Structure 1
Amino acid sequence: MVFSSLLFLFLYLPVVLLIYYVTPLRWRNGVLLVFNLIFYGWGEPVYIVIMFLSTAIDYTHGMLVERYKRRDDDRGARLAVCSSVVFNLALLFFFKYWDFVAGSLAAIGLPLMPILGLSLPIGISFYTFQTMSYTIDVYRGDAPVQRNLINFGTFVTLFPQLIAGPIIKYKELGDQIDHRDYPVERFASGIQTFAVGLGKKVLLANNLGQLWDAYKALPAAELTTAGAWLGVIAFSLQIYFDFSGYSDMAVGLGRMLGFEFARNFDYPYISRSVTEFWRRWHISLGSWFREYVYIPMGGNRVSRPRLCFNLLVVWGATGIWHGASWNFLLWGLYFGVLLIVEKLWLGRRIERWPVPLQHAYALFLVAVSWAIFAVEDFSQLGLYLGAMFGFAGGGAFDGAFFYYLRSYLPTLVLACAASTPLAAGLWRRLPERVWKAALPVLLLCVLLLSTAYLVDATYNPFLYFRF
């Protein structure tokens, strides 16, 4: 079940909200836990077992960490944290990376592991990172141990951000799991944020995705340089509106249920450097790796060689987190190298460039990264990158490029504008009485247009579900 589906919008969500709000406060977490499991199990009921196992293991380990700390047994507490981390990483490895490693070994003549052909549990990369944060936060003293199993299960399985983020650390949500209020203003803000996210996903990402799919499917001999760039620009906008739209919907749903989640995107395409881009893109993932991997490895307070090593490890892990394929590792290392170059040599020089040149520099490198991210087959990736840099089998332009450009130009222009703070800035300048009258009308239009699209559409992917 996805948020941008008629089933979710007109059946699941209304039923959840109705039952949730007629339930007494002390029972709401239990009711929400049931609905979380129904949501997750809708498409993969077998994998609910994993959710139960993950919840039980991390709940138990949190109690062990707290017990050892109370006895001043730091070694025992550390072992409990390590045990929890090993379990979560082993779970992630088995379902997400086993076949990747087995296939890679077999490809070089070392069939040491059987290929199991297991389907990937939806959102496993997100919820394993969330549950790992719990025992670490308890050990560090950043959060109290959760003694209520129902409350802890609600945190692990919280459906608004369960299967595609944002990644919520336990210390950020623990207090809200135990106690939260339900002001009408927060609920109304949740509806607004959800509607904006739905519009991003359905009206922009889905349409741009069809343009990218058209170019990705072209034989290399027919791909032109202009077409390759048009395709990767379409994908750059698709993945932004797909994922930021989902994140907005998750934040909106959280507010409807009384929770407040942190923002996951901050207009990344207005960045002036790669470093700034990663401060604005998928903020929760960057924060997780920085706090639980990069800083424990020494962070910036190390020698230059060790700093380079730390960054390459973190960004290699960031890349492979996205998918069990070599192109994702390459994508992560590509950013690791760029960030090392900016941190050690180029960063201050970029600040002296003209602002338009800074934006062009960042957008160019990010666009190249999305080609690496999107094309998983290495032979096709080489051909696609070659086409982007002038080695296209189809030449510089062709009739198809101009046809697609004309057909998608309004959507591309709208998407480019919507990826900046321009519209929000203009909106804030309107008189209060104007925007208060216009806002409900605009939100209703977005909901109606999105519903009309979903009624008629067969193309409705969520890119980050596979992660």
Structure 2
Amino acid sequence: MVFSSNVFLLLFLPLFLSVYYLTPNKRRMRNYAILAGSYFFYGWWRLDFLALFAAVTVFNYFIGAAIGNAGVGQPRALRWTKIGVVINLGVLGYFKYANFGVSSFNDLVASFGFEPFSMTSVLLPIGISFYIFESISYIVDVYRGDAKATKHPVDFATFVSLFPHLIAGPIFRYKDLADQFEQREHSADLFGRGATRFMQGFVKKVIVADTVAPLADYCFSLTNPSTADAWLGTFAYTVQLYFDFSGYSDMAIGLGLMIGFRFMENFKAPYISQSITEFWRRWHISLSSWLRDYLYIPLGGNRNGNMATHRNVIITFFLGGVWHGANWTFLVWGAMQGFMIFIERVLGISGAPKQFRLVRWTITFVLVMVSWTVFRAASINDAWRMYQAMFFMKNIGGFTDPMLTKISGLQVGMLLLAILVVLVEGLREFGPRLKAPSQRVQTAAILVFLLPLFFLSIMKLSAQGYSAFLYFQF
């Protein structure tokens, strides 16, 4: 089940909210309602993977308890932590990388004339990257003493399964939400803010991302794209990815507010960044902070001189690419991110500029677009085909005829809207500080603009059917 579906909007969400608010708000009773709803939400896809999900949850609860009983920083606690991390990574590695590993091995042995190895294809459980990373952060935090091992299994199970963020993040940490499982605020104002945020994300996903998606898909499928085709396709995917993923995050944050949870922001206007370093402080913040705290810092961070720091940055982003998927394209993309940040560190480029500089922004945005090309491509060969068109001008005579037949006025309008959104975000960040609009103005804006767009999105969704989120594959 996904947020952008009629089943979720018209059936699951109204029923869940009804049950949730009819449940007494005492003794964590509403956590039971969330747990039941979240398991139903996940099990809607496949019941067998719901069993895997439950097993991972139970395992990590007891590992956390064992670490807590052993004592913070004690050798026995370290042994339990290593066991937990290794088994979690083993589960993730099997389901996410077994097919890739066998395929790569077969390509290698076939080049030497040997028979390929046969193995049944492994299906990737939805959301496994997110709930495994959250489980690892929990047991590591307990070992470090940053979080107490919970004595409430329902709280922990609810944390892992919390459906607003279960499928595609943000990646939460138990220590940040622990108090909210015990007590959280419920009010009409908070619910209204949550509903508004959900509608904003829904519009971003269905109206903008889904509209430009066919354009990006078609460009990346061309066997001989022109230079114009390749750049338009890359720009369309740049827009699609941001509005799709940030739209999901907005919906997750909005759903959280509707049931009293306050979640972290996952995006902060990333396309106004003036360096790749700044970009990663604004894009998928929950993942970049997770990689920093549980990979970069344990590797040594910046504690052992410049060379070690540069090495740790490159390793961290390379493994971040590996996390995204079992494809050589993601490995190359991760290496590109690490290398670009390495170059910025060598050049002394600041990751937090205090004023807007057009040249720095332009260079950064182009580099981000270029890196998204290999991220989107189905293979290294497909990415190379796009890069040849983009930079070697293999076919420079404008858009190809098939491409012209695919471009619609609505898609062009959405691309222009995306540019306007980036400009507004830049003005908000670097322009004059304006007084926030009054509650009356905000309410009027919702009634005049957001609600009609939301209902238009529902009609569009009904017409186009199922609409998956891009980050479901990770």
What interval of TM-score do these two structures reach, taking the shorter chain for normalisation? over 0.9
Tell me, in whole angstroms, the C-alpha distance in 2 between the residues paired with 1:432 and 1:307.
Answer: 47
TM-score by length of structure 1 reads 0.94
The offset of 1:346, in angstroms, is: 4.8
Name the residue aligned to 1:118: 122
- The one-letter amino acid paired with 2:69 is R
Name the residue aligned to 2:105: 105
The offset of 1:354, in angstroms, is: 8.0
Candidates 210, 213, 228, aligned match of 1:209: 213
Name the residue aligned to 1:460: 467
The offset of 1:437, in angstroms, is: 2.4
Over the aligned positions, Cα root-mean-square deviation in angstroms equals 2.3
Tell me, in whole angstroms, the C-alpha distance in 2 between the residues paired with 1:243 and 1:208.
Answer: 14
Tell me, in whole angstroms, the C-alpha distance in 1 between the residues paired with 2:393 and 2:426.
Answer: 38
The offset of 1:136, in angstroms, is: 1.0
Asked whether 1:386 is paired with 2:391, we answer no
Candidates 183, 199, 204, aligned match of 1:179: 183
**1:237-294: per-residue Cα shift (whole Å, max 9, x none)?**
0000000000000000111111111000001000101111111000000000001110
The offset of 1:400, in angstroms, is: 4.9
Is the CA contact 2:20–2:30 (under 8 Å) kept in the aligned structure 1?
yes
Candidates 255, 277, 280, aligned match of 2:279: 277
**1:414-466: per-residue Cα shift (whole Å, max 9, x none)?**
12222454499599665553333232332321221111101111462311001
Asked whether 1:79 is paired with 2:79, we answer yes
Asked whether 1:164 is paired with 2:168, we answer yes
1:295 alignment partner, SS class? helix
Candidates 411, 414, 421, aligned match of 1:411: 414
- The one-letter amino acid paired with 2:318 is G
- Structure 1 unmatched ranges of 5 or more: none
**1:370-399: per-residue Cα shift (whole Å, max 9, x none)?**
101000212221111110113334744444
Tell me, in whole angstroms, the C-alpha distance in 1 between the residues paired with 2:426 and 2:202.
Answer: 17
Asked whether 1:451 is paired with 2:453, we answer no
Tell me, in whole angstroms, the C-alpha distance in 1 between the residues paired with 2:427 and 2:162.
Answer: 30
**1:92-125: per-residue Cα shift (whole Å, max 9, x none)?**
0010011111111111118796533011000111
Name the residue aligned to 2:318: 316
Which shifted more, 380-389 or 440-449?
440-449
- The one-letter amino acid paired with 1:292 is Y
Tell me, in whole angstroms, the C-alpha distance in 2 between the residues paired with 1:349 and 1:198.
Answer: 31
Tell me, in whole angstroms, the C-alpha distance in 2 between the residues paired with 1:348 and 1:43.
Answer: 45
**1:148-190: per-residue Cα shift (whole Å, max 9, x none)?**
1111111111100001000001111111122222122211111
- The one-letter amino acid paired with 2:462 is V
- The one-letter amino acid paired with 2:440 is R
- Provide closer, same or farther for how the CA distance between residues 114 and 194 of structure 1 changes in structure 2, counting only shifts above 3 A: same
Tell me, in whole angstroms, the C-alpha distance in 2 between the residues paired with 1:319 and 1:146.
Answer: 32
Q: Percent identity?
A: 40
Tell me, in whole angstroms, the C-alpha distance in 2 between the residues paired with 1:47 and 1:353.
Answer: 49
Tell me, in whole angstroms, the C-alpha distance in 1 between the residues paired with 2:350 and 2:434.
Answer: 34
Is the CA contact 2:2–2:468 (under 8 Å) kept in the aligned structure 1?
no
The offset of 1:45, in angstroms, is: 1.2
1:24 alignment partner, SS class? coil
- Provide closer, same or farther for how the CA distance between residues 403 and 359 of structure 1 changes in structure 2, counting only shifts above 3 A: farther
Candidates 52, 57, 64, aligned match of 2:59: 57
- Provide closer, same or farther for how the CA distance between residues 402 and 376 of structure 1 changes in structure 2, counting only shifts above 3 A: closer
- Provide closer, same or farther for how the CA distance between residues 420 and 120 of structure 1 changes in structure 2, counting only shifts above 3 A: farther
Tell me, in whole angstroms, the C-alpha distance in 2 between the residues paired with 1:299 and 1:91.
Answer: 27
The offset of 1:224, in angstroms, is: 0.7
Asked whether 1:437 is paired with 2:444, we answer yes
Is the CA contact 2:301–2:312 (under 8 Å) kept in the aligned structure 1?
yes
The offset of 1:350, in angstroms, is: 11
2:41 alignment partner, SS class? helix
Asked whether 1:128 is paired with 2:135, we answer no
- Provide closer, same or farther for how the CA distance between residues 458 and 17 of structure 1 changes in structure 2, counting only shifts above 3 A: closer
Name the residue aligned to 2:16: 16
Tell me, in whole angstroms, the C-alpha distance in 2 between the residues paired with 1:331 and 1:147.
Answer: 41
Candidates 219, 226, 238, aligned match of 2:223: 219
TM-score by length of structure 2 reads 0.92
- The one-letter amino acid paired with 2:295 is V
Candidates 48, 66, 69, aligned match of 1:67: 69
Which shifted more, 242-251 or 293-302?
293-302
Name the residue aligned to 1:286: 288
**1:69-101: per-residue Cα shift (whole Å, max 9, x none)?**
0xx770000111111111110010010011111
- Provide closer, same or farther for how the CA distance between residues 273 and 13 of structure 1 changes in structure 2, counting only shifts above 3 A: same
Candidates 233, 236, 242, aligned match of 2:244: 242
Tell me, in whole angstroms, the C-alpha distance in 1 between the residues paired with 2:356 and 2:291.
Answer: 32
- Provide closer, same or farther for how the CA distance between residues 391 and 424 of structure 1 changes in structure 2, counting only shifts above 3 A: closer
Alignment of 1:19-58 (within 5 A): 19-25=19-25, 26=27, 27-58=29-60
Tell me, in whole angstroms, the C-alpha distance in 2 between the residues paired with 1:401 and 1:294.
Answer: 43
The offset of 1:409, in angstroms, is: 1.9
Tell me, in whole angstroms, the C-alpha distance in 2 between the residues paired with 1:458 and 1:18.
Answer: 26
- The one-letter amino acid paired with 1:151 is D
Q: Aligned residues, how many?
A: 463
Is the CA contact 1:61–1:84 (under 8 Å) kept in the aligned structure 2?
yes
Tell me, in whole angstroms, the C-alpha distance in 2 between the residues paired with 1:333 and 1:29.
Answer: 41
- The one-letter amino acid paired with 1:226 is A
Tell me, in whole angstroms, the C-alpha distance in 2 between the residues paired with 1:114 and 1:74.
Answer: 44
The offset of 1:362, in angstroms, is: 0.3
Is the CA contact 1:168–1:284 (under 8 Å) kept in the aligned structure 2?
yes
2:349 alignment partner, SS class? helix
Is the CA contact 1:212–1:234 (under 8 Å) kept in the aligned structure 2?
yes
